Every structure is written in C-alpha cells, then in structure tokens.
Homo-oligomer: A and B are copies of this chain.
C-alpha cells in the first residue's frame, strides 16, 4: 500500500481567536481524507541561538523536527507583523533549518495570509518566500492566497465563514496536494 501523504500546517498567530489558525482549521476540514494533515503547535519553541548547536537541542525542538521528518509539505498561514514575519513562525522555520537533520530541505510549501486590513499580507509573504529559499523549500508559485478584510470573512472565534474564501483556500490545498503527487 502506498504511504499516505502528510501535510503539516503552522500558524504565525498565537492569538486565541486567530483568523490564520482558523484558516488552518478549515484546511484540516477540507483536506481530502487520504491526506494526513496536522497543525503543529510552535508556541513553545524557545528563541533559537547557535549555542544550542553545541549544548544540544531542547526536547520541544527535537519533537518539532520529528513531526516534520515524514511530512511531504508544509502549509503556512500567517498574519503580517510590521510588514514582515511574526517571530513565532520565523523561529520555527529557523529551528527546522538547523542541526544535522534538515527535515524541510527540498520539500513543498504553500502560503496563505489573513489580515484584518485591505492588503491581506502582501508584504509578509515575500519575506517568507525569501526565508523559504534559504531553507531550500519548493514554494508553490500559484495560487497566491491573500485574505484581506478578515473580520468580514471569519466569525469572532476565527472560523472561516465566507464561501468564496473557502473556495480559494480549497484551491490552494488542491494545488499543493497535486504538486506533492507530481513530485513522487
């Protein structure tokens, strides 16, 4: 039997009612059942610094890298903090890139961003793409998914409500799954 595809989601927001984490809940729900999908909690990773390379990595970082090991792709959902990447997400990517085992190298990535403002994260995604280039990941060029004016498209708990937004999100998921299958 063929191994099941596995996609890991990460959210750049720790806010309880986060729209981005909510978008990943929709991703989980809309993902085809033959794909294993899991949103990882990245909030407990300490700030990476190079001293860990000699002192050894904390358990939480080892567990994080272990989760990435057999993943085929990651799906990142992020707000924009000061025209760039939220530190919690950037830190997770930095951890994934360090040490002898680099579990994301050569793997696929897809991006979405949700903001309450009108730009939908147009700036953060290109900073993310530059960082993912450093990680040697293959980021989908299309579709680009910028979800603006989030308060109109999600409820107060961060659940995606807008049908058009769901459709675009489903398109992104489908494109990612298709690309994983092509790469096999």
Q: Are B87 and A134 closer than 8 Å at their CB atoms?
A: no
The distance from the CB of A7 to the nearest CB of chain B, in whole angstroms, is 21
Q: Are B13 and A49 closer than 8 Å at their CB atoms?
A: yes
Instruction: Indicate whether A94 reaches chain B with its CB closer than 8 angstroms.
Output: yes
| Copies assembled | 2
Q: A87-B87, A90-B85, A97-B82 are in contact. Are A51 and B16 (CB under 8 A)?
A: yes
Q: Contacts of A36 on B, CB cut-off 8 Å? A: none
Q: Are B90 and A90 closer than 8 Å at their CB atoms?
A: yes
Q: Contacts of A47 on B, CB cut-off 8 Å? A: 14, 43, 86-88, 91
Q: Which of A70-116 contact B (CB under 8 A)?
A: 81-88, 90-91, 93-94, 97
Residues of A within 8 A of B (CB): 13-16, 43, 47-51, 81-88, 90-91, 93-94, 97, 123, 127, 130-131, 133-135
Q: Please report the C-alpha to C-alpha distance between residue A87 and residue B97 in the assembled complex, in whole angstroms.
A: 14
Q: Which of B50, B87, B97, B123 contacts A90 (CB 8 A)?
A: B87
Q: Contacts of A134 on B, CB cut-off 8 Å? A: 82-84
Q: Contacts of A85 on B, CB cut-off 8 Å? A: 84-85, 90
